[in-house]
Amino acid sequence: MIKVNRREFPWEAGLTVQALLDNLKDAGEFLSIINSSTTVTVNRRAIPRQEFASTLIKDGDELLLMSHLVGG
């Protein structure tokens, strides 16, 4: 189990940041946060965009997705 924006999601071995973002999108989660400007932190460490595909997520990791969204 991992946490994304404080919500629990299942984990599987070999899960990368990029695969997680793709899965979340397919499941209709965080749709307007996941875009070309999304920042991802894993256990508070920011992951560079070019490393999304190679960064493995471990069981129990806590991720935060942020995007340049503004509120009105």
Nearer to other proteins, 14 or 45 (CB): 45
Q: Quick check: 54 binds other proteins (CB under 8 A)?
A: no
Chain residues 23-42 in contact with other proteins, contact rule CB under 8 A: 28-33, 35-37, 39
48: which DSSP letter?
P
Q: What does residue 18 show for φ and ψ, rounded to 5 degrees?
A: -65, -45
Q: Quick check: 65 binds other proteins (CB under 8 A)?
A: yes
Q: Provide the greatest CA pair distance for the chain.
A: 40
Binding site for other proteins (CB under 8 A): 5-7, 28-33, 35-37, 39, 44, 46, 64-72
